[in-house]
Amino acid sequence: MEPASTVDRIANVTAFVGQNFEPARVDVRLAGGRIVDVGEPGPLGDAEGVTIDGTDMLAFPGMVDSHDHLRNLTPGLAVAEGLTIDGFLKVWWANGAKMGPDEYRLGALLGSLQRLRTGITTVVDHCYTFHAPGLDEASIAGYVGSGARWIYARGIMTRPYQPVCETWDVAEAKIRELADGVVPRDRLFVAPVSIRQATPDEFTRSRSLADDLGVGLYTHVAETAAEVETWKQETGETPIRALDRLGFLTDRTVLVHCVILDDGEIELIADRQAHVIHCPTNHMKLAKGFTRVPDLLTAGVNVAMGVDMMADMFVEMRTEIGMHAAHRLDPNAVGKVDAFRMATHAGARAIGWGDRTGLIEPGRLADVVLIDARSVLQAPLIDPAYAVLYATDPGMVRHVLVEGRWVVRDGRSTMVDEESLLAEVEDVVPRYLNRIGHPEALWPRA
């Protein structure tokens, strides 16, 4: 396909502007991949270059999926329907052992494109397992082909499921190789998967490796009662205290899930300026419980959101608000601006890009999502924020810009031939499903 065109102006659009996401009718002017001005609308024909007519559209900062796994070529979490997370992981690892470079590349490309089509411009892939040669390179090729901004949380799994484990030495050597010109260091995290899959000593070694390379740290933690008990048995501490003692908590550390926290652990996360990623729909699907997001926000912790193999960020935002309202019996436990921020700027901060993206304001990278705002499904559109939170679905995403490049136009990728991609999916995935014993007859294909 031809290279994506660069947009110079989004005219007469209702944009969610600045730190408070205030809707305003503006022109957004772009140059060099950045937003250079957000000002009063002018006539549509008053400037040269590529202009998007933003009339009847809403402009939203490109959303940040701060936690995902893009090898989702099974029926998703339904492949272990009815299981909690510990049971699901055993199924997931067994299925993963049957994947090779073709499946990793296809999963990364398809997953990244799906995220783009739903208004996510940056996705963090916590990538593992590494049980065959070439899986890192295949994943990266998939991200690059999609047009999304990708962040590589390179997982480390040294235990307990032998077919998909690697040694620490192999993992360290590969991460150093990736950091040496393959993955930009501002896109790389050293990411031991969890205490279930890495030893306490390997968390300390991960900190040393990350410091040496100048990259961030990333892990699942405090996700289940069984995992908390493992931390206590192996370190004598609760998870967050153990990570702190092991040297893992820094202002470049991303902690995913954090379902089970006490007051002291929340204070410790805040003191260390670590970041927390909440995945509300995944937590409900796998019956994990309620992360104390309102308390974390009150303590000043930067809390972002991840899709984590579920649907899209619109669902995550409304679920974030609704689950805490129901749990706390307080409709304001998490506010709408909190949800907007968690889906955008908080995610950018968590990955170390907080000064570059996540907001519509001058100086930021031009990561912008344009959503239809004149739809029977949204009418009457009186409150733009309410419309985005409660009356918008991915099918209403019209255009997506990444650094000013038009990567989704009129709801279709400008980077990927979607029909060819679907044909490849229909070729590769049935063979994979056959290898894992999934009944192909249940999957309708053209």
Tell me the longest C-alpha to C-alpha distance in the chain: 68
* pTM of the model as a whole: 0.96
For residues 63 and 342, what is the distance between their CA atoms, to the nearest angstrom? Answer: 9
What is the pLDDT, as a whole number, of residue 162?
84
For residues 176 and 210, what is the distance between their CA atoms, to the nearest angstrom? Answer: 10
Where b means 16+ CB within 10 Å and e means fewer, 217-243 reads bbbbbbbbeebbebbeeebeebbbbbb
For residues 27 and 5, what is the distance between their CA atoms, to the nearest angstrom? Answer: 19
CATH 2.30.40.10 in the chain is located at 9-61+358-413
What is the pLDDT, as a whole number, of residue 43?
86
At position 354, the amino acid (one-letter code) is G
The percent helix, strand, coil of the chain (3-state, each to 5) is: 40, 20, 40
CATH 3.20.20.140 in the chain is located at 63-350
Per-residue pLDDT in tens (0 to 9) along the chain, 446 residues: 666 789 999 999 999 999 999 999 999 999 999 999 999 998 887 667 899 999 999 999 999 999 999 998 887 767 777 888 888 888 888 888 999 999 999 999 999 999 999 999 999 999 999 999 999 999 999 999 999 999 999 999 999 888 899 999 999 999 999 999 999 999 999 999 999 999 999 999 999 999 999 999 999 999 999 999 999 999 999 999 999 999 999 999 999 999 999 999 999 999 999 999 999 999 999 999 999 999 999 999 999 999 999 999 999 999 999 999 999 999 999 999 999 999 999 999 999 999 999 999 999 999 999 999 998 988 999 999 999 999 999 999 999 999 999 999 999 999 999 999 999 999 999 889 888 887 765 555 54
For 9-61+358-413, CATH number out of 3.90.1150.200, 2.10.77.10, 3.40.190.10, 2.30.40.10 equals 2.30.40.10
Query: Which residue has tokens 């100048």?
Result: 214
What is the pLDDT, as a whole number, of residue 445?
58
Strand partners, 53: 11
Both tokens of residue 95? 């299925």
- φ, ψ of residue 423 in degrees (nearest 5): -60, -40
What is the pLDDT, as a whole number, of residue 227?
96
DSSP for 233-294 reads HHHSS-HHHHHHHTT--STTEEEEE--S--HHHHHHHHHHT-EEEE-HHHHHHTT-----HH
For residues 153 and 383, what is the distance between their CA atoms, to the nearest angstrom? Answer: 37
What is the pLDDT, as a whole number, of residue 2?
61
DSSP for 383-417 reads -HHHHHHHS--GGGEEEEEETTEEEEETTEESSS-
What is the pLDDT, as a whole number, of residue 3?
64
Helices 418-435 & 101-117, crossing angle to 10 degrees?
130
Is 35 strand, coil or helix?
Answer: strand
What is the pLDDT, as a whole number, of residue 443?
58
Q: Specify the CATH superfamily of domain 63-350.
A: Metal-dependent hydrolases (3.20.20.140)
Strand partners, 11: 53
